[in-house]
Amino acid sequence: MSPRQTGGTPVVNAKAPALVPAPAVTGEDALIESAERLRQELPKLDPKIRPDGWLEVSVPRESLGEVSRLLRDRLGYDYLLLLTGVDWKEKGFQIVLHLAGLARGERLVVTVDVPREDPRCPSVVSVWPTANWHERETWDLVGIRFEGHPDLRRILMKEGWEGHPLRKDYEDPRPPRDRFPKPQR
Amino acid sequence: MPDTEVSVPGGAQGQVPSLIEDSPTQDLRTEEMMVNMGPQHPSTHGVLRAVVTIDGERVVDVDSDVGYLHRCFEKISEKLTYQQIIPYTDRTDYLAGMTNELALVLTVEKALGLEVPRRAQFIRTVMSELQRIHSHLIWFGTFGLDLGATTPFLYAFRDRETISDLFEEVTGARMMYNYMRVGGVRNDITAPWVKRVRDFLKQFPAALREYDDLLTGNPILKARTRGVGKIDAQTAVAYGASGPVLRASGVPYDLRKHDPYLVYDEMDFDVAWASEGDVLARYQVRLEEIRQSIRILEQALEGLPEGEFLGKAPRIVKLPPGHYYGRVEGPRGEVGCYIVSDGDRKPYRLHWRAPSFVHLQLLPAMAKGHLMGDMVAIIGSIDIVMGEVDR
């Protein structure tokens, strides 16, 4: 059976869609073309093509703000899916963003390395407003400060909580307890 | 009643004097008030605390305080094998267990490059669409209930009960299915079960028409939802909305069509979308999605092939080092599972992209300028489940 056409007919009303999303880019040639387009706009970056159809690129921390703006405005990556952080112990932290370009169907993963001694990263809230809560969660659980964030405070943990639970060196503050106590007679 | 003559003191020329001398209303200073909605509230769909700043009855700002249901899912999954994480995914969005498990299992299979038997793909599709109808029926019932309509709630749950029974027959559970496995599903479905699903699908469209009669044409519903909580396409995309919230704002983006998985690319169905972007539009989109799900279900059951329901998968699942992202179209939006692996049996880091978490950010944009009473309709229309907001 052949793949279906995308877009779908408007079933609730007759106006034209505000934005017609394209199906996800698969296929070797289209991905190479996507990667080329990215390389042209951002020559310092070297995008890799992942086997699952996503492009992957590593961005240095200082240029994240500028690169984000170019990604959104010139390359059409207008849709931020998620932003999170990973604790790589001695190697530092890594911020990961998953982006999609709805009009062309492109998908991109951006990784930013953040040193452990200086856990700060520029915020991308001004580029993708949805990053607000994602960055708050990353600050709360991984402990990376996002500079330029309008309201960086804890979101999942209680206010006043100390420590960042998703870090690998986070110590459970609860007192040790007997996991298999004997029944009291 | 005949017009009564009303005499107004000193009002012979038609002027109505102020009843209070030197009325202070022109110097009246109004102050904004911060009102707490939740965390225990019948209409916040879970433990959500919305701190609403109101000026009179108009909402000026909403700050959502979440985290009351945070159960450290991501931290816990760092010490569990991938198969052990499956029941935990059931419990993030507890009203859409099948699609959650699917998100995890699809990511693992993508990372391993595992081939899943066709029968298992079809079974998974059937379960996903049944789950979509199941979840949308809860949404429909509770949405009506929030707005004061008690009857649609009972009707929706009556139909939902049939689906719950179908799930229980196959998986043994009504809510925490623990059904998807790496490589397929846990049990097979039988021909009598398929017949029962078909019987349900035969009588369900009539029930949907009944719901339309009960709620959709209701003038009170229209008055409370039309023009309320409107967001345009740019805002929706900028805020990362997905699923019905995005589609109701004029962007017909559906992962089943635009990033297909399972056997959706072989199914004939339309993407339900609307342009208004208000609560009524989201309502209509979800109802239409139920109708499209019925179409997909009929096709999937028709084309159900014979074969294995669980393919060959390694007993000890170790993902190659790297990071992987798998996404599915859940009833609430895009559910994503981001796994970072260092080659071990357990994920080094697992992050759950929950659509409700992202959509709750839209609450201020939707609620500003509306009345306090509209908050309930707006929160109901986003269809949030706190289990996946907090994880």
CA distance A181 to chain B (A): 23
pLDDT at A176: 86
**CA-wise closest residue to B229 among B213, B207, B245:** B245
Q: What is the mean pLDDT of residues B285-303?
A: 92
- Tokens representing B289 are 């999605």
Query: What would be the CATH architecture of the domain defined by A28-147?
Result: 2-Layer Sandwich (3.30)
What is the predicted ipTM?
0.88
Residues A171 and A49: their CA atoms lie apart, in Å, by: 38
State residue A8's pLDDT score: 41
pLDDT tens digits for range A121-174: 999 999 999 999 999 999 999 999 999 999 899 999 988 888 899 999 888 888
Contacts of B21 (CB under 8 A, 6+ apart): none
pLDDT band at A179 (very low <50, low <70, confident <90, very high): confident
| Average pLDDT over all residues of chain A | 86
Q: Is the pLDDT of residue B26 over 60?
A: no
pLDDT at B14 exceeding the cut of 60: no
Sign of CA pseudo-dihedral B277, B278, B283, B288:
negative
d(CA B98, CA B227): 33
| B 259-318 residues inside an 8 A Cβ radius of A | 259-260, 265-276, 281, 284-285, 288, 292
Q: CB-CB: which of A12, A102, A166 is closest to B288?
A: A12
Q: How confident is the model at residue B46 (pLDDT cuts 50, 70, 90)?
A: confident
Q: Which 3 state secondary structure label does DSSP give A182?
A: coil
From chain B, the residues in CB contact with A23 under 8 A are: 257-260
Q: Which helix (H) or strand (E) holds A80?
A: strand A79-87
Strand A120-122 versus strand A145-147 pairing type: parallel
| Residue-wise pLDDT tens digits, B329-360 | 999 999 999 999 999 999 999 999 999 999 99
Annotate B293-352 with DSSP letters as a single string: HHHHHHHHHHT---S-SB----SS--PPSEEEEEEEEETTEEEEEEEEE-SSSS-SEEEE
Whether chain A has a CB inside 8 Å of the CB on B171: the answer is: no
Cα B312 to chain centroid, rounded:
33
Answer CATH for B63-385 from 1.10.1370.30, 1.10.10.10, 3.40.50.10860, 1.10.645.10: 1.10.645.10
Question: In the A/B pair of chains, how many CB contacts fall below 8 A?
Answer: 144
Q: Which whole number is the average pLDDT over B228-253?
A: 92
> What 8-state DSSP symbol labels residue B213?
I
- Mutation test of the interface with chain A: which of B259, B285, B289, choosing the one with the most A Cβ atoms within 10 A? B259
> Which of B12-16, B268-272, B307-311 is predicted with the least confidence, judged by mean pLDDT?
B12-16
More confident residue, B45 or A141: A141
Quote the DSSP letter at residue B212.
I
- Residue whose C-alpha is closest to residue A158's, from B219, B67, B210, B251: B67
On the question of pLDDT at B10 being above 50, the answer is: no
Q: Which of B259, B266, B268 sits opposite A24 (nearest CB)?
A: B259
- Is 80 exceeded by the pLDDT of residue B1? no
pLDDT at B4 over 50: no
Q: Indicate the domain borders of chain B.
A: 63-385
pTM of the shown model: 0.88
- CA end-to-end distance (rounded Å), chain A: 69
pLDDT > 70 in chain A, percent: 92
Packing angle of the helix pair B118-146, B97-112 (nearest 10 deg): 150
Specify the pLDDT at position A13: 63
Which pLDDT does position B18 carry in this prediction? 52
Distance CA B277, CA A84 (A): 29
Measured between CB atoms, does B364 come within 8 Å of chain A?
A: no
Residue A9 distance to chain B (closest CA, Å): 6
φ, ψ dihedrals at A24, nearest 5°: -60, 140
Q: Residue B25: which pLDDT band, with cuts at 50, 70 and 90?
A: low
Q: Does residue B20 register a pLDDT over 60?
A: no
Instruction: Please check whether residue B368 touches A, CB under 8 A.
Output: no
The residue written with tokens 């796994």 in the block is: B339
Per the listing, tokens 């398929």 go with: B194
Q: Which residue of A has its CA nearest to B272?
A: A11
Residue B63 pLDDT level (bands cut at 50, 70, 90):
very high
Asked if B297 contacts B196 with a C-beta cutoff of 8 angstroms, the reply is no
State yes or no: pLDDT of B165 exceeds 90.
Answer: yes
Pair B64, B49: CB distance under 8 Å: yes
Least confident stretch, A23-32, B121-130, B231-240: A23-32
pLDDT at B148: 87
Contacts with B274 from chain A: Cβ below 8 Å: 12-13
Mean per-residue pLDDT, B259-269: 90
Q: Sketch the domain layout of chain A as residue ranges.
A: 28-147
Residue environment code for A10-41, b if the CB has 16+ CB neighbours within 10 A, otherwise e: bbbeeeebbbebebbbeeeeebeebbebbeee
pLDDT band at A107 (very low <50, low <70, confident <90, very high): very high
pLDDT confidence bin for B55, thresholds 50/70/90: confident
What is the rounded distance in angstroms from the CA atom of residue B86 to the CA atom of residue B337? 12
The mean pLDDT value for A16-29 works out to 84
pLDDT on residue B27: 60
Cβ-Cβ contacts under 8 Å, A154 against chain B: 67
Write the DSSP symbol of residue A126: T
Instruction: Sort B50 into a burial class: Cβ within 10 Å, 0-12 / 13-18 / 19+.
Output: buried
What tens digit of pLDDT does each residue of A68-92 get? 999 999 988 999 999 999 999 889 9
Chain A residues with beta carbon closer than 8 angstroms to that of B288: 11-12
Q: Please count the residues of chain A.
A: 185
Nearest to B140 by CA among B383, B360, B375, B332: B383
Element (H, E) at A98: strand A93-101
Confidence tier at B29 by pLDDT (50, 70, 90):
low
CA distance linking residue B124 with residue B105, whole number of Å: 11
CA B196 to chain CA centroid, Å, is: 26
Question: What average pLDDT does the structure give for chain B?
Answer: 88
pLDDT confidence bin for B301, thresholds 50/70/90: very high
CA distance A185 to chain B (A): 34
Residues of B in contact with A84 (CB under 8 A): 338, 351
Greater confidence (B29 vs B80) lies with: B80
CB neighbourhood size of B87 (10 A)? 15
**pLDDT value of residue A12:** 55
> Does the structure show a pLDDT above 80 at B111?
yes
Which segments of chain B does DSSP mark as H helices, in order? 73-77, 82-90, 97-112, 118-146, 151-171, 191-211, 219-225, 233-238, 243-247, 255-258, 279-302, 355-360, 363-367, 374-382, 386-390
